[in-house]
Chains A and B, each alone.
Chain A
Amino acid sequence: MRTILIDLPYDCRGYVVENETGDSCIVLNARMSHEMNVKSYEHELRHLKNKDFRCNDSVDEIESCCHKDN
């Protein structure tokens, strides 16, 4: 999994982005601690495992669910 560290706003720990071919890249916030980056990495992997990009639920529902499982 391609993973990059960049400075993101403080209220965003990271994100996962998918391209047209279905390849994904996880972006983590370089301003966060290593422990937080690990948690965020796991969160983004969960989005991929749950196939959330193909899910018709709203983002609000997806995140609500994903954070409940944390």
Chain B
Amino acid sequence: MPTEEYEKMMKLFSTRLKELMEENDINQVELSAAMGLSRSTVNKWVTQKAIPRMGIIEKLASYFGVPKSYLLEQDGKTNKRAYYVDPETVLLAQELKDNPEYRALLDATRNLKPESVKEIMAFIKYQKAKEEGHID
């Protein structure tokens, strides 16, 4: 028997999925074809009878261009249409903008790696120190 928590998640998933289908003007038949699954499977998601496994949730998130959290978390709605894929990159890019040591905004791919942001942070620090005469 499903737990209360699971039922909540199923309801949230169903609501968000229906919203995305409506926004993208796509019906259950079209979505099932795009996912390579049967219509009855998609119908179970929409009618709160099942939640797909994580691999399918990732596929759905990618298909609609939203993060997985949008489909599964109550506050995931704030993340809708997020740009960066990696959550660590999001945090580092935010620090890059907000921290006065950096104050930078990027032009990067959605798949920007956290290591790349760290490399840029190190370069900005070096460049600022050089300009302030701390480095020859």
Known interface pairs A17-B124, A60-B82; A44-B107 also in contact (CB < 8 Å): yes
Comparing B6-14, B42-50, B51-59, B92-100, the segment that makes contact with chain A is B92-100
Bound complex: CA A29 to CA B127 (Å): 15
* Interface residues contributed by chain A, number (CB under 8 Å): 27
Please indicate the chain A residues that have their CB under 8 angstroms from the CB of B84 in the complex.
59-60, 63
Given A60-B82, A63-B83, A64-B82, verify A11-B108 contact (CB < 8 Å).
Answer: yes
Say yes or no: B116 contacts A14, CB within 8 Å.
no
Chain A 30-68 per-residue mask, 1 if CB under 8 angstroms from chain B, else 0: 000000000010011001000011000011111110010
Q: List, in ascending order, chain B residues with CB within 8 A of A12's CB.
A: 106-109, 112, 116-117, 120
Which residues of chain B come closer than 8 Å to A60, judged between CB atoms?
A: 79, 82-84, 90, 93-94
Complex interface: chain A residues within 8 A of B21 (CB): none
Say yes or no for B26: interface residue by CB 8 A criterion. Answer: no
Most chain B C-beta atoms within 10 Å of own C-beta, residue among A8, A58, A67: A58
Question: Looking at the complex, which one of A11, A13, A44, A59 makes contact with B97 (CB distance below 8 Å)?
Answer: A59
Interface range for B: 20 to 34
Q: B100 contacts A11, CB within 8 Å? A: no
CA distance A11 to B116 in the complex (A): 7
Contact of A58 among B94, B102, B104 (CB under 8 A): B94
The answer to whether A17 and B108 touch (CB under 8 A), given A59-B96, A60-B83, A67-B83, is: no
- Can you spell out 27 A-B residue pairs with CB atoms less than 8 angstroms apart? A9-B115, A9-B119, A9-B120, A11-B111, A12-B107, A12-B108, A12-B109, A12-B120, A15-B104, A15-B107, A17-B103, A17-B104, A18-B103, A18-B104, A43-B107, A44-B105, A58-B94, A59-B83, A59-B94, A59-B97, A60-B79, A60-B82, A60-B83, A60-B90, A60-B94, A63-B93, A64-B81
Chain B residues near A (Cβ < 8 Å): 79, 81-84, 90, 93-94, 96-97, 100, 102-109, 111-113, 115-117, 119-120, 123-124, 127-128
